[in-house]
Amino acid sequence: MSERPTALLPFPDSAAIGPVGIELAGRPLTDLAAEFGTPLYVYDAASIRTRASAVVSALQTAPSGGRAAFALKSLSTLGVLRLIHEQGMGADCASAGEIAAALRAGFDGGSLVIHGNAKSSEDLHAAVEAGARLVVLDGRDDAERLAAVCRELGRTQDVLVRIAPGIDVDTHRHIATGHHGSKFGVTPAEGAALLRDLPAGLNGRGVHVHLGSQILDTAPLIAAARWLPAFAKAEGIDLQVLDVGGGLGIRYTPEQSAPDPGAHTRNLVEAISTVCGDEGLDVPEIIVEPGRSIVGQSGITLYSVIGTKTVGDGSTWVAVDGGMGDNMRVGLYGATYAPVLAARPLDPGTGLYRIAGRHCESTDVVAEGVALPTPQVGDVLAVPATGAYHQTMAHTYNLFGRPAAVLVDEAGAQLITRREATDELFARDV
C-alpha cells in the first residue's frame, strides 16, 4: 500500500486523492459541498468505527472488565452517537442535555457516566432517573445535592470521586484539568475523606482522574493510572472501579504525530494491572473516556472562498463563509490547522495565506500562514481534524445559522444535521 501524501495525514482514514481532488469513501469533497452547501461538517464513518472498536477491544483484556464511555462533550451529534453506540461504547455525559442525547442515540442508563463540576438539580435528576451507572462527584457540595435527589426519588446511586492529583501535562493551559489549581475535582486527601463519609444513598465505588485534553505525550496519563491504585491502598479505599478519563490527542497538522487510541488503552490496562499486582490488590474495573481520539480526525469542515485581498502589511487574506461560529478552538486556544484547497490539495503553494472567517471579530481566523495554490472565489477549502469540539461548540454569533453535517461511508453521504435556517434563530424569542 502506498504512503499517503503529506497533505492528507491529518485527514480521515477514507480520504484519498481522486481525479477531482480529495475524496472521502469515493465521494469528492467538492461534490459534497455542492450537494449540501457550505460551511459543512463532514464525518468519516470508517475512521470512527476503527478507533472505537480498537478501544473497546483493548478493554476486553482487562482482568476485571472495562468500559469505554465516549465523551459527548467532544461530539454529541445523534447520527455519530448511534454509530459509536453500535461499536459497544458507553457514554460520558456532563449535562441533562447530553444525557438526553445519549438516550436518544440508543445508549441505556447503565452505560452512562455522569460528570460536571457544577451539576444542577436538573442534571442530577436526569442522571438518577436515567439509571446512570455512575455519577462522578466533584466535591462535598456535589455529593449533598445528589443525595438529596436520591432521597426525593427513593433511589440509591453508585458514585466515583474525581481526584486532581497535581500532575501537569503538556497541553494548552485552558484544557489542563489535573493540576492543583484546576476547577475540577478535589485534592487526594479530600477525595479519600469524601469516599469514607458519603451521604446516605450514595455508594462509593472508586475514583476518577482526568488530566486534560489534546495530550500527545502519554507518559503522564500512564503515571496517573499507576498512581491511583497505590493511593487507594494507602487510604484504605475499596477500589472497585478506576476511571482514568480521556484526553488523548490527535494529529492536527502533518508535522504532528499522535498516539494510537487502541494501543494506548492496552498500555493503560497493562500499567494498572501491573501496579495492582505489585500492591497486592485486585484489579478494578477500568473505565476510559475517549472523545477527541475517537472522532477528531474523522471530521473535515468545508468552506467556500468568498473573496481575497492583500492588505497594508503585504499579507493576503482569504475570506471564507464560516469561521468562529463553527470553530471556536482557534480563538480559545490558538489551535492550528492545515487546510487545503479540496480540488487542488497537492498543487504547489504560490504564497502564504491568512484564512479569515466571516464574523465581526479580529480573532475570527481559521488559520495563519497557510501555503496554498492561488485561491479563487468559489474554491472549496477543506480543514481536516475538525471532528471534535467543533459542532458541539458551534454558535450563532452575528445571527449566522449553524452548519449542516453529513456522515460518509461506502453507502454514500447521509445528512445527519440540517442547516439552521434564519427563521429558526428566533424560535426562542417571545
Which are the catalytic amino acids? 360
Q: How far, in Å, CA of 114 to CA of 292, rounded? A: 18
Of 299, 297, 360, 366, the C-alpha closest to 328 is 366
Q: How far, in Å, CA of 101 to CA of 77, rounded? A: 8
Which helix (H) or strand (E) element contains residue 273?
A: helix 261-279
**SS3 string of 149-160?**
HHHHHCCCEEEE
Name every residue whose Cβ is closer than 8 Å to that of residue 362 and which is 6 or more positions away in sequence.
Answer: none
Which helix (H) or strand (E) element contains residue 365?
A: strand 365-372
Supply the DSSP string of 383-428, one letter for each residue.
EES-SSSSGGG---GGGPPPPEEEEEETTEEEEEEPPPPGGGGGTT
Encode 88-108: b = buried (16+ Cβ within 10 Å), e = exposed: bbbbbbbbbebbebbbebebe
Beta bridge partners of 299: 43
- Are 25 and 18 in contact by the 8 Å Cβ rule? The answer is no
- Are 232 and 243 in contact by the 8 Å Cβ rule? The answer is no
Encode 184-212: b = buried (16+ Cβ within 10 Å), e = exposed: bbbebeebbebbeebbebbebbbbbbbbb
Q: Give the distance, in angstroms, between the CA of residue 326 and the centroid of all CA atoms in the same chain.
A: 15
Burial status of residue 222 (CB atoms within 10 A of its CB: 0-12, 13-18, 19 or more): middle
Of 55, 53, 94, 47, the C-alpha closest to 74 is 94
Block residue for cell numbers 474554491 = 379
Q: How far, in Å, CA of 55 to CA of 53, rounded? A: 5
